[in-house]
Amino acid sequence: MRNLKRTGVALMTLALISSLNLNALAAVEDTGYADIDAGSWYADAVEYVRDNGLMSGTTATTFEPGGTTTRAMLAQILYREAGSPAVSGNDTFTDTQEGAWYADAVLWATQAGVISGYGDGRFGPNDPVSREQIAVILCRYAGSPAAQGEDFADEASISTWAADAVDWARSAGLMTGQEGNRFAPQASATRAETAVILRAFRTMNTPETPETPAEESNVLVAYFSATGNTERVANAIAEATGGDLFELTPAAPYTDADLDWTDESSRVVREYENPEERDVALTVDTPDNWADYDVVYLGYPIWWGIAAWPVNDFVASNDFTGKTVIPFCTSSSSGLGESGQLLADLAGTGTWLEGERFRSSVSQEDVTAWVESLGL
């Protein structure tokens, strides 16, 4: 067992550098947020960014509307919006971490000229993004269109490098200012404000389509993701299939310390070494309308060569009769291995296909091509 652990060390190093919890960006489907008042000015926008996979809760039940948006988060949001294209190379910033959850997004954002560093070698991934920075970043992402805007009362405090972008953001209706015709350029954007701005930006770029009654999907994309990699692939599969997302959320969520496989007494190591402790209860075992799904994609990270065990509860609790199940996983380097077969054995019902392992930076294009190749 210790040999296995040693072998796993090299494979897992990369993954565990990125053990920052990406739940801040995780999609929360079909649940309300306890801290979002339905009557608030941002409630619709929060719902919009959640449903469109742009932002999600900080936990399964909270959004933290007053929390700050960091520069790395905004890079990640726009990277997703751009379809998470493949990137290569490393950034040259002194304060970004190789392999971090935001690494691909920061590299993409800088290479695409959407977000630049501070000029002193720093990117400031954890710095709150200011309102004028958001204007500049979205303006660049939109292709730096020229625009004229009316002046704000505090126009003089807008940085010169942001003035044109603020004009554009105002004229495009993205950022209309605060009380007293103030723009508050250096104030950090709260998560609620970011949601409102992103919705305005998205709907500006996406022509409104006439409302048609939503067709019920017969595809479910169920997944567990501890650090966001599998979630990214799940989102891409949902995008490709039009399927419904269902996140498997442990009732006792895994903290960074819980996931620290280098700590002999951490939760994952204890569970790994004692299979009887791998019975992880989920907040919800069965999605609504379970009977209506014919195709179930089931995603998980590989933990020590097998499916991360928080998926077991979902697999063991549901009847897969008549359903086609396609396992998929992300890992540092291991393949799918026997993970799908072991889950099929645990389920005992359903038609289980071979499945696929993805690298965490797989593009939407590649995921869509894989989905189409299944011919389901």
Residues forming the site for ligand FMN (CB under 6 A): 8, 11-12, 15-16, 225-231, 259, 261, 268, 301-305, 330-334, 360
Residue 8 or 185: the one with the smaller Cβ distance to ligand FMN is 8
Give least dist CB 20 to ligand FMN, A.
10
How many other C-beta atoms are found inside a 10 Å radius of the C-beta of residue 104?
A: 22
Pairing of strands 356-358, 244-247: unpaired
Residue 249 or 332: the one with the smaller Cβ distance to ligand FMN is 332
Q: Which residue is nearest to ligand FMN (CB)?
A: 15
Residues in the chain: 376
Residue 227 or 235: the one with the smaller Cβ distance to ligand FMN is 227
Place of tokens 């996979």: 53
Give least dist CB 264 to ligand FMN, A.
13
Residue 32 or 305: the one with the smaller Cβ distance to ligand FMN is 305
253: Cα within 13 Å, side-chain hemisphere: 15
Residue 136 or 329: the one with the smaller Cβ distance to ligand FMN is 329
Give least dist CB 169 to ligand FMN, A.
33
Residue 240 or 329: the one with the smaller Cβ distance to ligand FMN is 329
Q: Which of 16, 124, 1, 146 is closest to 70 using CA atoms?
A: 124
Give least dist CB 173 to ligand FMN, A.
36
C-alpha span between 97 and 123 (Å, rounded): 11
- Confirm if 264 and 188 have CB atoms less than 8 A apart: no
Residue 255 or 317: the one with the smaller Cβ distance to ligand FMN is 255
C-alpha span between 327 and 302 (Å, rounded): 12
- Confirm if 296 and 327 have CB atoms less than 8 A apart: no
- Both tokens of residue 367? 């995921």
Q: Give the 3-state secondary structure of 142-187.
A: CCCCCCCCCCCCCHHHCCHHHHHHHHHHHHCCCCCCEHHHECCCCC
C-alpha span between 121 and 119 (Å, rounded): 6
